[in-house]
Amino acid sequence: MKQLRLIAGARLVEGGRWARENLYALLVLGPLVLGMTYFGVGRMVREAEWSPTEWQTLFACVAAAACLAALSLSRASVEVYHVRSPEWVLDALPVSAGAQLSAALMLRASRTLAVGAVALVLRWLAGGEVVSARLFASLGLLVAVLASGEVLSALGWVRWSHRRGGAQGAASLAGFALCATVAGALLADVSRPGGLNAVGRAALVAGGVLTAALLVALAFAAHARWRASDAEFAKRLGARERWGGGVERLAERACGGRRELSSQLARDLRLTLRGFSSAVYAAAGVAVLVILLLVALLAGGVLPGGESESWTSTTWLPRVLAVKFACVLAAAASAALLPVLVAHQRPHFWLERSAGLKGEDAWRAKLYLARVLAAPAASAAWVAGAACGAVPASYAPALLAECVGLWWLVSTVAGGLAFEMPDQPGLALVVTLCAALAAGGLAAVVWPIGLAIYGMGVQPLCLRGVERAQFYLTSTEGV
Amino acid sequence: MSAESLLVVESVSKRYGETLAVDGVSLRVGAGEVYALVGANGAGKSTLIRMMTGLAEPDSGDVTVCGEEMRRRPLAAKRRVGYLPEELYFYQRLTGREYLRLVAGLKGADDARAAEEAEFFELKAVEGKWVGGYSLGMRKKLGLAAAFIGAPRVLVLDEPLNGLDVEMMRKLRLRVERERDAGAAFVVSSHVMSFVERAADRAGVMSGGRIVAEGTPAELRRLAGMPDEPFEDVFFHLAK
């Protein structure tokens, strides 16, 4: 118990200091995101004529829980087996396996609390009460089931990768399915008010308690049995060969064969694909969410169809505008990753310095990266619009041209600001997003404005971007 | 070799896929003895060390520390081992003092021991700062201080000299000699041959996962037939 207290204490201190370092993100960005969600998504949800049935909600929540557990496999295995993490010291010290797993479970539960918070926000948006003992019991169970299921799945995943045992793999899948089903049911109960009657709720709570207890017991048993032989294998999982041949070719093509640019772009793409920061997942998640919302809006018939008076005025139909705004939002969310990447790379700029790289080359590589990152999001918006029948077939090519223009403008603005303030990535993220959304939003409403912004604003932005890149390449201040 | 063997490695093997990293290695390190493990990169030193410290489980064979089998009684065995790994990962936002106190607590040692080691390894001036801001040398000293906390009877040091300045290298060598004279057993993996020749009572040369030569530095010179050449040449000859 003393060991667990010491480990938890060290993590608390470290977590508290991380929070202090990221006060800006927590106190400014958090409320900003919540506010935007409330006034944007919340309003759409409240005013939408379509609402999901109970079964649709349950299915979506089970799918969400399964996705969460699957996405957490890698992170949970790092927490259990201490892969390249400070907790390696626990393996070398006389710390029991039980204390190590308890610490990993506590850490996973603390991270899963974020899911509970999201569920609460969803409930609040749906107009349900957010302060009640019953609700907090369900929330606690949701966190317990999901966290223990994630840890058990991670143990099973590493074991199966190591030994490839069919029976063990099937048992692990069964555990995963149980976790996803019960956590999904709890998530549906928490996020949707008034879904269950008293009997159903009691059964759900009882099922949740039993499932959490079962998953925890299985996790401890599997850990005690497998840890000694799997720990070394888990540490070597990261040493496997990595995919990435296509990245070189893509970078070469995007940079027109300029090696000093394509080598930087290939590196940046690899770092992004390998998740250099959790911001990568956040940006990808936001972009995917925007596209899914677009599909839901278009397919659910929430937006009025309308008929345009002429072909040229089709651009202002609500459905077409929705596609264009989704294109801007998704592209901006993807490209907004740049300031975070530059901040991440700043301690390693000695490489660019020692290679004699010019500021313009460093900046231009980031501009190309913004375009490459934003391209799939913009394409997805157009494809979603066309596939859902949002536009008349005769306007689809024109909408494609508009989406291309928006992608180009948004990614240019985001790329141009990449080196604006790498010592304050949180603020840089907000500035980049605001600038890209403002330019893209105006261009989405009236496309000639986009041309005007590009013609008049991009040249000075590029000059400034090159100067900032040169400054940060030569300055080591704040690194 | 001393009569009491504190570390006994018996026929341990470890395979990673097709690669046999350690192939039936046996060795004994007695109380009051410094055993140097030398070998080229990929020879199997670090894997052997990881098995000695309980970080990896041998596919076959056994490791015993002070009479406690690492496989059957890992906690009892680990209580007697101090370990410095080659790659160091620390909590970036803990101070050096907090980290050493955490290690002391987990080892069941007093905080006073943590303070003594911080003093010895010249960390007093920076022990209030976050470890994330430490230089390579500072981090190595912190790792060494953590390894020495709790007065372990067996110390396993993997590349302890990397990043240390000359003064600290000398100080570490004197500390190793002092602890050895007090009855501790050391296993030191190092590429610094002058340190190996000066500090080690015995050395094992690893190649292809096996110990291909073993003995005192003088015996190894005789075995290689190189009495006056630099010890690097002796090692190169034996490892080949």
> Pairing state of beta strands B202-207 and B33-39?
parallel
Q: Within this chain, do residues A324 and A439 fall inside the same structural domain, yes or no?
A: yes
Cβ-contact B153, B186 below 8 angstroms: no
Cβ atoms of A187 and A119 within 8 Å: the answer is yes
pLDDT, residue A230, reads: 87
CA nearest to B56 within chain A: A232
Cβ-based contacts of A13 with chain B (< 8 Å): 93-94, 98
CB pairs < 8 Å spanning A and B: 72
Whether A364 is covered by a domain: the verdict is yes
* A236 touching chain B per CB within 8 A: yes
Task: For residue A93, give the nearest of B56, B91, B103 by CB distance.
Answer: B103
**Strand pairing report for B33-39 and B81-84:** unpaired
Taking the Cβ of residue B180 and every Cβ of chain A, the question of whether any pair is shorter than 8 Å is answered with no
Of A239, A263, A290, the one marking the end of a domain is A239
Taking only the tens place, the pLDDT of each residue in B45-100 is 999 999 999 988 899 999 999 999 999 999 999 999 999 998 888 888 899 999 99
Residue reference for tokens 């959490």: A212
B107–A88 C-beta distance less than 8 A: no
* Interface residue B130 vs chain A (CB under 8 A): yes
Q: Is the same domain home to A58 and A154?
A: yes
Q: Identify the DSSP state of B130.
A: B
Query: Residue A32 falls within a domain, yes or no?
Result: no
Asked if residue A459 belongs to a domain, the reply is yes
* Alpha-carbon span A352 to A355, nearest angstrom: 5
Give me the DSSP letters along B159-201.
Answer: STTTT--HHHHHHHHHHHHHHHHTT-EEEEE-S-HHHHHHH-S
Q: Say if A257 falls within a structural domain.
A: no
Q: Provide the residue range defining the domain that includes A193.
A: 51-239
A111 and A191 in a single domain? The answer is yes
The pLDDT tens digits of the residues spanning B189-198 come to: 988 888 888 8
The domain total for chain A is 2
Across the interface, do B94 and A13 touch by the CB < 8 Å criterion?
Answer: yes
Token duo for residue B206: 């690893």
Do both A299 and A447 map to the same domain? yes
A291 and A231 inside one domain? no
- Are both A230 and A284 inside the same structural domain? no
User: A63 and A150 share a domain?
Assistant: yes
A289 & A214 share domain:
no
Residues A276 and A285: their CA atoms lie apart, in Å, by 15
Look at the pTM and tell me if it is higher than 0.95: no
Q: From the list B50, B56, B93, which residue is nearest A14 (CB)? A: B93
- Give the pLDDT of chain A (479 residues) as one tens digit per residue: 788 899 889 989 988 988 887 777 677 777 776 777 667 666 666 666 666 777 878 888 888 888 888 878 878 888 898 877 787 888 888 888 889 999 999 999 998 988 888 788 777 777 777 788 888 888 899 999 999 999 999 999 889 988 888 899 999 999 999 999 999 999 888 877 766 777 888 888 999 999 999 999 999 999 999 988 888 888 776 555 555 567 778 888 888 778 888 889 999 998 888 777 767 877 888 898 889 888 888 877 777 766 767 777 788 888 888 999 999 999 999 998 899 899 888 888 888 888 888 889 999 999 999 999 999 999 999 999 888 877 888 888 999 999 999 999 999 999 999 998 888 887 888 889 889 999 999 999 888 888 888 888 888 998 999 999 988 887 765 54
Instruction: Kindly list the residues from chain B whose CB atom is less than 8 angstroms away from the CB atom of residue A90.
Output: 106
Task: Let me know if residue A84 belongs to a domain.
Answer: yes
Asked if A307 and A235 sit in the same domain, the reply is no
Q: Which of A3, A10, A95 sits opposite B91 (nearest CB)?
A: A10
Please tell me the predicted confidence (pLDDT) of residue A476.
60
A94·B105 Cβ contact <8 A: no
Residue B1, pLDDT score: 45
Same domain, A223 and A103: yes
* Structure confidence at residue A195 (pLDDT): 67
A129 reaches B (C-beta below 8 A): no
- Is there a domain that residue A399 lies in? yes
Cα A385 to Cα B107: distance, rounded to the nearest angstrom: 62
Q: Is residue A125 part of a domain?
A: yes
Q: Are residues A352 and A417 in the same domain?
A: yes
A168 shares its domain with A84: yes
Residue A23 maps to a domain: no
Q: Which residues of chain B have pLDDT under 50?
A: 1-2
